[in-house]
């Protein structure tokens, strides 16, 4: 299902730190959030526009600069969601938006089952008309190709340019073991497809 949120995990896979520009965390965040927006699940491969994705500060810099370069305060977000979120502080979506706390129905509406996910749906306006229409279109597409495994897989495939995080691992990292679980490494080991 295209709008099934990720399973809950106890912590992030990666833990880089020490960069002086938050944009440098982009490859880590792309891998961490599986090349899709943490809020609405838009995928990189669904958009042709380069740089259609932003790096979101979960606690905005306007409220506190403490988290400006803190990996745990950064999330991978589409430009639409980052713009709507704007200066609002929200619960960490890594923990608050999981398959057990938010679900999308066939009518394109997402429903939260926890106070945290409900709050995120409201603040990100995830049930505005445009978002519902967009989800319905994607779900119709999914239904149309459901018996064609190749076309179905192309709806959820990973981008070609998976980041090779082992080349970035010269910076300190509290979870260096996460690199071997990155999508680049998994593709190299032919664990994908």
SS3 content of the chain, % helix, strand, coil (to 5): 40, 10, 50
Q: Is 78 in the site for Zn ion (CB under 5 A)?
A: yes
What's the rounded Cα separation, in Å, for the pair 185 and 158?
13
Count the neighbouring beta carbons within 10 Å of the beta carbon of residue 32: 23
Find the binding residues for Zn ion in span 28-47 (CB under 5 A): 37, 39-40, 42
User: Which of the stretches 48-56, 70-78, 133-141, 175-183 binds Zn ion when contact is defined by CB under 5 A?
Assistant: 70-78
Task: Give yes or no for a contact between 108 and 133, defined as CB atoms under 8 angstroms apart.
Answer: yes
Find the binding residues for Zn ion in span 120-179 (CB under 5 A): none
Judged by beta carbon, residue 40 or residue 102, the one nearer Zn ion is 40
User: What's the min distance (Å) between Cβ of 37 and Zn ion?
Assistant: 3
Judged by beta carbon, residue 73 or residue 77, the one nearer Zn ion is 77
Q: Whose CA is closest to 159, among 11, 31, 16, 20?
A: 31
Q: Are strands 110-112 and 53-57 parallel, antiparallel or unpaired?
A: unpaired
User: Which of the stretches 15-23, 75-83, 150-158, 166-174 binds Zn ion when contact is defined by CB under 5 A?
Assistant: 75-83
Of 29, 58, 75, 81, the one binding Zn ion by CB under 5 A: 81
Task: Give yes or no for a contact between 75 and 56, defined as CB atoms under 8 angstroms apart.
Answer: yes
What's the rounded Cα separation, in Å, for the pair 28 and 177?
13
Judged by beta carbon, residue 25 or residue 33, the one nearer Zn ion is 33
What's the rounded Cα separation, in Å, for the pair 36 and 34?
6
- Residue 56 bridge partners (DSSP): 75
Judged by beta carbon, residue 55 or residue 168, the one nearer Zn ion is 55
Judged by beta carbon, residue 120 or residue 158, the one nearer Zn ion is 120
User: What's the min distance (Å) between Cβ of 145 and Zn ion?
Assistant: 23
Judged by beta carbon, residue 159 or residue 172, the one nearer Zn ion is 159
DSSP type of residue 173:
B
- For Zn ion (CB under 5 A), the number of binding residues is 6
Q: Is 110 in the site for Zn ion (CB under 5 A)?
A: no
Query: Which residues contribute to the site for Zn ion (CB under 5 A)?
Result: 37, 39-40, 42, 78, 81
């Amino acid at each position: 299902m295209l709008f099934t949120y990720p399973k809950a995990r106890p912590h992030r896979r990666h833990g880089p730190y020490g960069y002086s520009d938050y944009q440098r965390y982009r490859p880590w965040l792309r891998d961490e959030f599986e090349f899709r927006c943490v809020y609405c699940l838009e995928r990189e491969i669904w958009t042709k526009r380069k740089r259609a994705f932003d790096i979101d500060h979960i606690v905005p810099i306007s409220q506190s600069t403490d988290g400006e370069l803190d990996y745990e305060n950064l999330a991978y977000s589409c430009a639409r969601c980052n713009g709507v979120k704007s200066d609002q502080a929200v619960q960490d979506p890594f923990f608050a938006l999981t398959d057990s706390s938010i679900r999308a129905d066939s009518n394109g509406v997402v429903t939260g089952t926890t106070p945290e996910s409900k709050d995120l749906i409201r603040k990100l306006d995830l049930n505005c008309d445009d978002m519902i229409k967009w989800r319905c279109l994607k779900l119709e597409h999914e239904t149309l190709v459901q018996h064609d495994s190749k076309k179905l897989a192309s709806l959820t495939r990973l981008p070609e340019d998976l980041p090779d995080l082992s080349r970035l691992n010269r910076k300190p990292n509290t979870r260096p073991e996460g690199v071997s679980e990155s999508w680049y490494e998994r593709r190299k080991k032919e664990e994908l497809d």
